[in-house]
Amino acid sequence: MSRSDRSQSGADAPAVVVECDGETVEAADRVQHVDQLPPGDRQAFLDVVDGTDRALDATELRPGDVVRYTEYYCVI
């Protein structure tokens, strides 16, 4: 599955991470704890959460995934 969507201009949009309310996470959502991520994806995720750039470059995370860290984070 591609981690990017085509915009109307045809450019790729990177996946981004946003904080989400844990009460909105549904049973069918793919939820992973940050410690379950492969090392490269874990570092990419932490770089996004701790930094100002929300663009995510991770191989195992895709839009719709939820990561549990200090809060819940959605990949969109």
- Report yes or no: 19 and 66 within 8 Å, Cβ to Cβ: no
pLDDT on residue 54: 84
pLDDT on residue 2: 30
Residue 31 exposed, middle or buried by CB count within 10 Å (0-12, 13-18, 19+): middle
- Delimit the domains of the chain by residue range: 5-75
**8-66: pLDDT as tens digits:** 333 467 899 999 999 999 999 999 999 999 999 999 999 999 998 888 989 999 999 99
Report d(CA 22, CA 73) in Å as an integer. 9
- Neighbour count for residue 29 (Cβ, 10 Å): 13
Per DSSP, 21 falls in state: -
Looking at the DSSP bridge assignments, the partners of residue 66 are 31, 74
Tokens of 11: 């450019």
